[in-house]
Amino acid sequence: MQGFKRHSELHSWENIEQHFRRSTILIGNGASCAVWDKFRYSSLYQQALSNSNHPLSDSDIQLFTDWEANGNFEKVLANLLITRKTNTILGQPNNSEIQEIIRERYNNVRNALVEAVQKVHVEWSVVSPNIFNSIQEALSKYSCVYSTNYDLLIYWSIMSNKTLFKDYFWNGQQRFDITDTEIRGNSTRVLYLHGALHLYRQAGRTRKLGNSSGGTILNQFENLWAIENDVTPVFIAEGSSREKLESIYKSDYLSFAYSEFQKHKDSLVVFGHSLGESDQHLINAMKTANINKIAISMRQLDEVFIAKLHRDFPSSELFFFNAQSHPLGDPSLKV
């Protein structure tokens, strides 16, 4: 183990894998892009606006600005639901007219989000079972998987094995229960630090779309959100680190996931994650945790990035490895 700490050599994963058996892995957008190039489009809000026929009106766009949403659809949709409830409680004059305006705003924002997701997300039927199996096998080698990706690739890959993977939605109602989070045995825990497309909030509780939905989850994602259902998505695809952390602490599930990440000990693999400025809250969580070894994937050596990581984690032993040498970066996964 001596000699790795300050070296900026780019290793093959197989040469350092022995030091990270049954460790925890933090997965970023690079893992999704290894399968589907369109996931490189990081801003769903800009994707929505790029369509000249998008459903967002000038008033809708103003909501993103005035509420300082920074492209965060979840925040705007949640605020519209709060506004609707408040007007109902206060019995505003011309209430039905006001409620109809709110409904229109909500539907426009929802439809813009759905259209943007459909433009960038790969269809379940396009991904071969071999790819899902390869991702499942790769993830099963870790004790815990933390993902910051909103897409469905991890969910689709693990949903066929409820014994091997545990995602904390194991009761019959597919609902997260903060009082029921104990995991027994050696199952791989899976937590979505920024939420995901299959997660939604209803009546203050975080739920997930059922496994039996298979490839139709994207359709359910579209059809779920009638404003009367009091439903908002649980995923953070935009925003600064501060805004992401604010959204995390407003959610029972996301705050639990973040707390678990802060408690992490021993070794950590970081795959496909830039650990950039917008994810400073993750870096802070890693500093809080007691991590003695960190392996970080890279496409090529980046001395500036490496120097930053050494400053951020001066007490951790750092390894750098070629992303394509890891099973999650295998070129054969590309669709």
Q: What is the pLDDT of residues 120-141, one digit of tens each?
A: 999 998 999 999 999 999 999 9
Quick: pLDDT tens for 35-73: 999 998 778 899 999 988 889 999 999 999 999 888 888
Q: What is the pLDDT of residues 189-214, one digit of tens each?
A: 999 999 998 999 888 889 998 755 44
Report the C-alpha dihedral over residues 253, 254, 255, 257, rounded to 10 degrees: 90
108 versus 1: the higher-pLDDT residue is: 108
How high is the pLDDT of residue 257?
A: 98
- What's the confidence (pLDDT) of residue 78? 86
What does the block give as tokens for 258?
Answer: 């973040």
| 292 vs 273: CA distance, rounded Å | 19
| 18 torsion bin: left (phi>0), alpha (psi -120 to 50), beta (else) | alpha
Section 20-27 average pLDDT = 96
Residue 2 has pLDDT above 80, yes or no: no
Three-state DSSP at 168 gives coil
Query: pLDDT-derived band of residue 226, with 50, 70 and 90 as boundaries?
Result: low
- Token pair, residue 220, equals 């359910």
Report pLDDT for 214. 47
What value does the mean pLDDT take over residues 224-229? 71
Residue 226 — left, alpha, or beta (φ > 0 → left; ψ -120 to 50 → alpha)? beta
- Reported as a single tens digit per residue, the pLDDT across 276-325 is 899 999 999 999 998 999 999 999 988 999 999 999 999 999 999 999 99
Distance in angstroms (rounded) separating the CA atoms of residues 8 and 84: 54
Q: State the amino acid at position 311 in one-letter form.
A: R
How much is the average pLDDT of 70-95? 83
Tokens of 299: 């496409």
Percent of the chain with pLDDT over 70: 93
pLDDT at 1 over 60: no
In this prediction, residues 90-116 reach a mean pLDDT of 84
**pLDDT, averaged across the chain:** 89
Which part of the chain is CATH 3.40.50.1220? 10-36+127-333
Hey, which residues does 271 pair with through a beta bridge?
27
CA-based end-to-end distance of the chain? 37
Which residues are paired to 195 by β-bridges? 235
Both tokens of residue 122? 């790969």
CA 249 to chain centre: 15
Q: Which residues pair with 263 in a beta bridge?
A: none
Q: How high is the pLDDT of residue 293?
A: 95
Q: Could you tell me which residues are beta bridge partners of residue 192?
A: 147
Measured CA to CA, the distance from residue 294 to residue 107 in angstroms comes to 44
Pairing of strands 165-166, 205-208: unpaired
Could you give the CA distance from residue 278 to residue 31 in angstroms, rounded to a whole number?
18
Inter-CA distances, 300 with 8, 14, 267, Å: 11, 17, 22
Secondary element (H or E) of residue 232: strand 231-235
Phi, psi of 318 (to 5 degrees): -105, 135
C-alpha dihedral, 237 to 214 to 332 to 38, nearest 10°: -30
Q: Which CATH number fits domain 10-36+127-333: 3.40.50.1220, 3.40.50.11540, 3.40.30.10, 3.30.1330.10?
A: 3.40.50.1220
pLDDT for 39: 93
